[in-house]
Structure 1
Amino acid sequence: MGPLKPNLIDLLFALICFLAVFTVMLKVLLPRIAKTLAAREEATEGMLGLAEETTLEAQRVLAVYQAELTAARHEAARIRQTALEEGAALLAAVRAEGQRAREELVGGASVRLAADRTVAEAELREDVLGLATELAGRILGEPLTDGERGRAVAEAFFAEVDAERATAA
């Protein structure tokens, strides 16, 4: 007997055992395996569906976030522009106020200067008149008591100086 010519009883026994195991696998194990595979596939598809829903939700949230970010950037740019314009307007107003204050100060100073000059000229004319009379008295060797005549000479001199100043200007 050998491997190419097996014993018939052993062959039948092996065939019956094989068919019994095959039948048990076909009736018991294969339905369980199919059921487990179906459950796994269903779970996988459910997770894929959930993953797709989550991805779509994430994309929607991202789009909303980007829209809000863009709106915030536009708002920030608008606020910066408004602040820049308000700053420029405020700067112009401050400059105008400073210019007005400067003009007031210069105008007031000019008026005070003119008034002080007039007062100083009047005082100096009186002093020059007194000094001229005294000097004339020293030159003549006798004191001059005619104040009116000295005043008239001094006034004529001052009028002549004022006329020369006006022609020079």
Structure 2
Amino acid sequence: MHQFIVSAATEGAQSPLMPSWWEILVVAVGFAVLLFIVVKFVVPAFEKTFAERAEAIEGGIAKAEKAQAEASAALEEYKQQLTDARTEANRIREEARAEGAQILAELKEKAAAEAARITEQAHVQIEAERQQAVASLRSEVGTLATTLAGRIVGESLDDDARAARVVDRFLDELESQNAGAAK
């Protein structure tokens, strides 16, 4: 085979492996035109698309980073507000407890004062009723004693002044006997 290639080259005929010069020239011109079209039109379109995508991706990343930063700031603000709200709730709860204790103390004080007032009023009323009962008893005892004394003595003690003196003296003696016996 080696002999065939050498003999074909020597004869001036073209070898099937080696193209002719005008085929090389046409292919080179076609390649140059195709290269020009690719460089002039296709590559800028690809570069433009690539730049737009890169810009969109970088913008998306920047937006995502910004959104992440805003979300982190919002989370921190929320945590701070939550802490403030808990602190405020504890303060309000403590104020309510203190106010409740104060109201309870005031109500107890008012109830004690009202009880003391009612007790004092009851004592005054009891004392007044006792005085009224004593006066009523004196009058009845005096009348009974005068009537009894009049029956015993045999004369009428209708003289009111004298009857009152007799009754008073009798009751004073009774009271002094009771006071001496109580001691």
In the superposition, the TM-score normalised over structure 2's length comes to: 0.64
Return the match for 2:35 from 6, 23, 29: 23
Residue in structure 1 matched with residue 67 of structure 2 by the alignment: 54
* RMSD over equivalenced CA pairs, Å: 3.5
Return the match for 1:112 from 110, 115, 125: 125
Alignment of structure 1 residues 140-155 onto 2, 5 Å: 140=152, 142-145=154-157, 147=163, 152-153=169-170, 155=172
Q: Which amino acid aligns with 2:98?
A: E
Residue in structure 2 matched with residue 73 of structure 1 by the alignment: 86
Q: Is the 1:134–1:143 contact (alpha carbons within 8 Å) kept by the matching residues of 2?
A: no
- What is the identity percentage for the equivalent residue pairs of Structure 1 and Structure 2? 31
Q: Which amino acid aligns with 2:67?
A: T
Deviation string, structure 1 residues 17-76 (Cα, Å, up to 9, x no partner): 984786356423234213312321221111111211121112112211220222022112
Alignment of structure 1 residues 31-50 onto 2, 5 Å: 31-50=44-63
Return the match for 2:142 from 109, 116, 129: 129
Separation in structure 2 between the aligned mates of residue 45 and residue 114 of structure 1, nearest angstrom: 100
Residue in structure 1 matched with residue 109 of structure 2 by the alignment: 96
Q: Which runs of 5+ in 1 are unaligned?
A: none
Q: Which amino acid aligns with 1:122?
A: A
